[in-house]
Structure 1
Amino acid sequence: IMNVNSYIVPASNHILFHPTDSHDAVMRFNTAPTKGFEADVGSKTTFRLINTMVLTVPAYKFLEDPQYRTGIIIMWDPSQYKESLHKWILKPEFKFFDRFIKLRKKEPDQPFYILNPLNTWQLWDIIQENSPEKIHPDPPSSGTLGILLLMKLCDQVNVYEYLPSKRKMDQCHYFSKGLNPACSLGGYHPLIYEKNMIKKLNQGNDTDIYHYGRITLPGLNGLEC
């Protein structure tokens, strides 16, 4: 998800190389797979941003599933609003330290980073500053956290179906059958406010969004406020 302009194409057994894979780097989120979905989402994974629930809940099989061994892992855990790092370490939302130690022993060479939770709330402050009304201090979504991380690293970022295209449906993820409009509009996360802010930063046009599901964002170094 970077410098090369590309687009999502319809699923087809004849597609051998997805345009997303031509990007310099691709970030995937939480449990999102590529196997079996290459025609729609490509196969390349450079970063995977996960929340601590993915690491700690046994059903996600984070220690066993090979999809989590590809790329750099970045993990985040919600804290109370602007809680000190010391208090968060003593009482994280999900008690991930034991599982984290097991992972480091099993995969000592895989790059793995843990976000300081204060970064999450710094992003929330920016969302609030760009919102027309007061919003509840719930942590931003993994998607918006990932966008900000890539904007720090990249000259240009392409994001797909973050702002829903005309194909919008209540299906939460391309790889699951669960239906819930809160996945687009927000429940736990202030999604509608996040999406409004990101749309303001979009350098593409409405056709890119509503036809291809693509937004194009500048890196932070190129952003003019």
Structure 2
Amino acid sequence: MSLPKRMKLRTFAVLFCIITFTTLLFTYTFRDPSLYFLKHAFRLSDNFFTKGPCGCRQCITELDDSLWFAEHFNQSIHPLMTKENSVLSDETFKWWQWLQSERQPANFSEVVEELFQVIPNDPLYMDASPERCRTCAVVGNSGNLKGSHYGKLIDSNEFILRMNQAPTAGFEEDVGSRTTHHLMYPESAIDLDNNTHLVLIPFKILDLQWIISALTKGTIKYTYVPVMSRIKANKDKVLIYSPTFFKYVYESWLDGHGRYPSTGFLSLMLAIHICDEVSVFGFGSDKYGNWHHYWEENLLAGAFRQTGVHDADYEYNITLALADKHKIQMFNGS
């Protein structure tokens, strides 16, 4: 046999062996759990050099690494309400109205129409380019922030979400000084600076009427308790938490535990759906097991009380599970 023919046969044999080995490798890798590490190693190696759907090393929306997360997470439900997505299903509307019942509620559609004449209709769906890496800090109000010295770390994030009272003046070293989004409802409202987004969590139609009033005429002074009739906030930066998303958080993430989610958990879920990397501060008790706010002197004064409204233990366990799956990073403070 001539030399060229022998070389061709040898080349063919080598190619045949490579193809056969590769086929067997992939067949058994996907069938045999003991070889799963090979597939996982290849994926990790690839991810080390490519950044996936965003510009971060690891993005929250990478669902393939956690079946548990993929079963809960639904990116198709927008967390913020617009005029276009404000229409609620009958089931959602009934559930939402049940949260804080109103005797004579106003017409929802008419209130929404008026609302988006006062505030913008273009909430925060911003840069979606592959180069983006949106880092977010969700800052709770736990006393474990006292003495933590997290201030600079918190302020280094692009988005910083706070909730309810959450003072920063005098606490900057531990909690930071910047706020990009402040979540509240009428009964927990505070004044904001001109650069901060007010994110209203509405529990009823009256809450939507209140934000219209608080930004204009100031006629609503009472819901089920006295509320601020006017609020200092940039009306061009007001956002509305969607009742549809609210219900999704309650059903998909909390599995119906409690009457409805806490502001802290709703804030965390907002961050998970709009951010690429999420760091969580000020959740849970302090190192002594006390539940109180970082601005309180009495460690027993501001506990996350057992009212039956929120299931604090279940919410905290879900938060810990998100950290365990490397979807968020938790900072436990002092």
Bin the TM-score by the shorter chain: 0.5 to 0.7
Pick from 47, 70, 81: which aligns with 2:181?
A: 47
Aligned twin of 1:23: 157
Q: In the aligned structure 2, how far is the partner of 1:94 from the partner of 1:168? A: 39
Alignment partner of 1:125 is 2:244: no
Shift in CA distance, 120/183, structure 1 to aligned 2, threshold 3 Å: same
Q: In the aligned structure 2, how far is the partner of 1:19 from the partner of 1:114? A: 28
User: How many angstroms does 1:99 deviate by?
Assistant: 1.7
Pick from 113, 138, 143: which aligns with 2:239?
A: 113
Question: For the pair shown, which has the larger CA radius of gyration, 1 or 2?
Answer: 2
Shift in CA distance, 36/204, structure 1 to aligned 2, threshold 3 Å: farther
Aligned twin of 2:279: 158
Greater RCO (CA < 8 Å, at least 6 residues apart): 2
Pick from 101, 104, 124: which aligns with 2:216?
A: 101
Alignment map for 1:1-225 (pairs within 5 Å): 2=135, 10=147, 18-55=152-189, 62=190, 65=191, 67-79=192-204, 89=205, 91-92=206-207, 95-102=210-217, 110-129=236-255, 135-136=257-258, 138-171=259-292, 173-177=293-297, 179=300, 182-183=303-304, 187-203=308-324, 212-213=331-332
Q: In the aligned structure 2, how far is the partner of 1:31 from the partner of 1:181? A: 12
Which whole-Å deviations, capped at 9, do the CAs of 1:107-152 have from their partners, x for residues lacking one?
55540012222322221102343xxxx634x121111111111111
| Higher deviation after alignment, 187-196 or 38-47 | 187-196
User: How many angstroms does 1:186 deviate by?
Assistant: 6.2
Secondary structure of the residue that 1:193 maps to in structure 2?
helix
Q: In the aligned structure 1, how far is the partner of 2:264 from the partner of 2:286? A: 16
Q: In the aligned structure 1, how far is the partner of 2:169 from the partner of 2:146? A: 17
User: How many angstroms does 1:156 deviate by?
Assistant: 1.2
Shift in CA distance, 186/158, structure 1 to aligned 2, threshold 3 Å: farther
Percent sequence identity over aligned pairs: 25
User: How many angstroms does 1:9 deviate by?
Assistant: 8.1
Shift in CA distance, 183/50, structure 1 to aligned 2, threshold 3 Å: same
Aligned twin of 1:82: none
Q: In the aligned structure 1, how far is the partner of 2:207 from the partner of 2:234? A: 23
Contact 2:182/2:197 (<8 A) preserved: yes
Equivalent residues, number: 180
TM-score normalised according to structure 2 size:
0.45
Q: In the aligned structure 2, how far is the partner of 1:95 from the partner of 1:105? A: 10
Contact 2:285/2:291 (<8 A) preserved: no
Contact 1:78/1:139 (<8 A) preserved: no
TM-score normalised according to structure 1 size:
0.64
Q: In the aligned structure 2, how far is the partner of 1:190 from the partner of 1:93? A: 26
User: How many angstroms does 1:74 deviate by?
Assistant: 0.3
User: How many angstroms does 1:159 deviate by?
Assistant: 0.6
Secondary structure of the residue that 1:26 maps to in structure 2?
strand
Q: In the aligned structure 2, how far is the partner of 1:123 from the partner of 1:163? A: 19
Aligned twin of 1:222: none
Q: In the aligned structure 2, how far is the partner of 1:162 from the partner of 1:105? A: 27
Secondary structure of the residue that 2:159 maps to in structure 1?
coil
